[in-house]
Amino acid sequence: MKLRVDGLTVRFRIPGATVHAVTDASFELSEGRCLALVGESGCGKSVMAHALLGLLPANATVTGHAWLDPTATRTDSSGEALDLITAPEKTLARQVRGRRIGLIPQSPAAHLTPVRTARAHLAETLRELGRTETPDALAARAGLRPEDLDRYPHQLSGGMAQRVANALALAGDPPLIIADEPTTGLDRPLVDATMTELRRLRDEGRAVLLITHDLRAAEQVADEVAVMYAGRIVELAEAESFFTRPRHPYARGLLDALPTRAFKPVPGRPPELTRLPAGCAFQPRCPLATPLCDEQPKLNGVACHHV
């Protein structure tokens, strides 16, 4: 299983303006690997995930490609690699969501129907996917006890809700897992437990796309890191290299902001996605900025004129 994203661009039309949510994003993700997509809130990380699943609102315009299994080790019904961006809704609903891509959403409890138990959620998902596995067996794979399944969402702790979300994502045994901010609202022990679960999924041979602003969490599981700023990927590197030798000034700033490092925030604020500056969007906050930065740098591992 392989995912190759090529030139993915997402725009939202709003009254009087256009939101440049994602611009020319490209990366690859293979089985048994975890790519962490990191950056400040609002930089376009979750929009990219929703674009891959065809879950954007009607005012979105999406261009580019996202080839699922471009090596054709798995194919769609026509025998060809599937482009998630141009695939019709019927194909995404019947062949992709839950079956080839599982989504672990942000704030899992908020995505559960409040008047239905965890068991009812799992049973319905298994039935829709045509699986014969029982809810109890599926829950056990996610570390849940049978008695946990009879709880309603408001009765679930943060850790339990996260495990229910993991179980739902695994119901169709998908080869690719997208985890969208899975540590939001969790304390550090639960964050560590969630990352342990994602490592297990990766080690089983699944591809994992982790979307997070928590660099400490990403460091526990990522094989590669893609740094987003103002809708663009500005650095793409192996995790070990990124966490020891970040190259883009923004990436260095993110790491320096960690409490375990300099604990120094990146100065300034990100630009509005409706009014991006010309050239490098990080220029107004960058200590290395020169007139050369008025021209948009190309991404060659890092998008910066002053590497």
Average pLDDT over residues 51-59: 97
Report the mean per-residue pLDDT for the chain.
Answer: 93
Q: At residue 39, does pLDDT exceed 80?
A: yes
pLDDT-derived band at 249, boundaries 50, 70, 90: very high
DSSP 41: T
**Nearest by Cα to 246 from 133, 258, 211:** 258
pLDDT of 188-206, one tens digit each? 888 898 999 999 999 999 9
Q: What is the pLDDT of residue 35?
A: 98
3-state secondary structure of 138: helix
- H or E segment to which residue 165 belongs: helix 158-170
Which domains, and CATH codes, for the chain?
A: 2-100+174-294 (3.40.50.300)
Report residue 72 as tokens.
């054709």
Percentage of residues of the chain with pLDDT beyond 90? 84
3-state secondary structure of 247: coil
